[in-house]
Structure 1
């Protein structure tokens, strides 16, 4: 079983490498991660370093993306804002991933009243629009980056719960699961040793897509003043600050907006590519094309 799983993931990696869009999006995300980790080294200026007399300076050799109304370098703030957006997105999706997968595993594996109780609660959360739910949670917890992570994590938990439950329902009646029960294996061992690994592909795809929407949600919350607070750099906050200067300093809003666009697009493209190679029917078609070549 272990070698079979390893060969399957190797085949998945090969199919991804054959997809030029997947490779391109992965490279973009790799660059973003490097920028997020080493932003302090790569940024030419500090995120709150002000240049008196250079306010609202257009893009130039000394300030590639221009300066804002405080004379701060927009390029440096965009670079340093990558770390904030990626951190908030990763932590928020991590919260929803852990909570949603556990709920989905329990609901899908045990069924009956456990399934009804857990999934009806998830349905209740899912009924609220995502952004309004996040705003409601922040109204209780208070504004700030940490609370924004928690709010976004709560919002996306039902999605992971539903995806996990659907996968578990298709796996729990497989022959090898019945064999494990018959051999006397406990529920904990069966769930985490057999059910979860075989239910993982849709969860992986959902994780990639949710990262895009989590970053978008953080930007939206920061845009309305509930997420990252000034003077910390945040793409959404920079968009909000640049809105009032759109006619005289278009660069203040353009470059953070492009950063959000490129990041979300890269995650979505990678998610679509993963969905294609992890879906059994699409996988067979892609494998056939590779063999034909």
Structure 2
């Protein structure tokens, strides 16, 4: 017995067919679907999103300005008036930690983008051209990588001086070798693919080959490295400020807040606990996101 087709059923079928036609399964959508199925990755994404909101709306969240001093409330323990207590200058630590989110996330993002535009581009060039170009670039990167990242960054700051541009430059040069190696490896993964050989056979130009064919197919791995380096940049920046070669007071950077509170470690430990927790939570969130992105972009999990 044949099924009776009514006008309403025909409209529904046409609507469903149109939806299927409009929705095209792309690698990005498939990766996002796998990312959403990872609860720990979603936790990391939510934490990062909250931190971004804190950084954007810091003046509205912080009850005081980060540099405001109140000498009648110096070294006060956490209370209703000062949630995280006050430091030796009477500055509200909660306000400084909130504003520190803006500085730490913003500078870490600048450092990672700068490292991607320098070391990342060099790694892409080395991976695509190979041969002597690859040898020259990677041997130079080996020279840079032979120096520990923190030592490299400290030396550059010692030469250039303190300040945000100097700090960004120091972390950029320190991260450049690792970023170059990671991006080179990502390009080499797609360098021998069939579609690359086919594109070369029909005469696609080198720049078009890199921009249109290789980078889009390697961008998943590059994004994973980028998110991971955000945590590395934060750790480098806070470490340098903690040992006194990063930013200078009264900048509310988390490492600098730790540096200023270390002499009160036993008498007022809250001065170090709260900024340290912010550093830990932020790096933990980026690591969770990085692990989730790694699983999402893994073609074996399709």
* Alignment TM class, shorter chain as reference: over 0.9
2:186 to 167, 184, 188: 167
The alignment yields a C-alpha RMSD, in angstroms, of 1.5
The Cα shift of 1:78 comes to 0.2
Aligned twin of 1:135: 154
Q: Within 1, Cα distance between the matches of 2:126 and 2:208? A: 16
**Equivalent residues in 2 for 1:96-135 (5 A)?**
96-135=115-154
The Cα shift of 1:6 comes to 6.1
Q: Within 1, Cα distance between the matches of 2:84 and 2:163? A: 27
Aligned twin of 1:241: 260
Superposed CA deviations along residues 77-129 of structure 1, whole A, max 9, x for unmatched, are 00000111011100000011111221111111111110000011111111111
Superposed CA deviations along residues 244-280 of structure 1, whole A, max 9, x for unmatched, are 0112211111100000000011101111111112122
Match status 1:191 vs 2:210: yes
Q: Within 2, Cα distance between the matches of 1:4 and 1:105? A: 32
Aligned twin of 1:208: 227
Whose Rg is larger?
Answer: 2
Q: Is the 8 A contact 1:160 1:203 kept in 2?
A: no
CA gap of 1:45–1:223, structure 2 versus 1, over 3 A, is: same
Q: Within 1, Cα distance between the matches of 2:256 and 2:214? A: 42
Aligned twin of 2:3: none
Q: Within 2, Cα distance between the matches of 1:221 and 1:211? A: 15
TM-score (norm 1): 0.92
Q: Within 1, Cα distance between the matches of 2:157 and 2:23? A: 45
2:172 to 149, 153, 161: 153
Q: Within 1, Cα distance between the matches of 2:198 and 2:144? A: 36
Q: Is the 8 A contact 1:148 1:226 kept in 2?
A: no
Superposed CA deviations along residues 61-92 of structure 1, whole A, max 9, x for unmatched, are 11100111111100000000011101110000
Q: Within 1, Cα distance between the matches of 2:200 and 2:29? A: 29
The Cα shift of 1:185 comes to 1.5
Aligned twin of 1:291: none
Q: Within 2, Cα distance between the matches of 1:99 and 1:38? A: 31
Give ranges in structure 2 of 5+ residues lacking alignment.
1-21
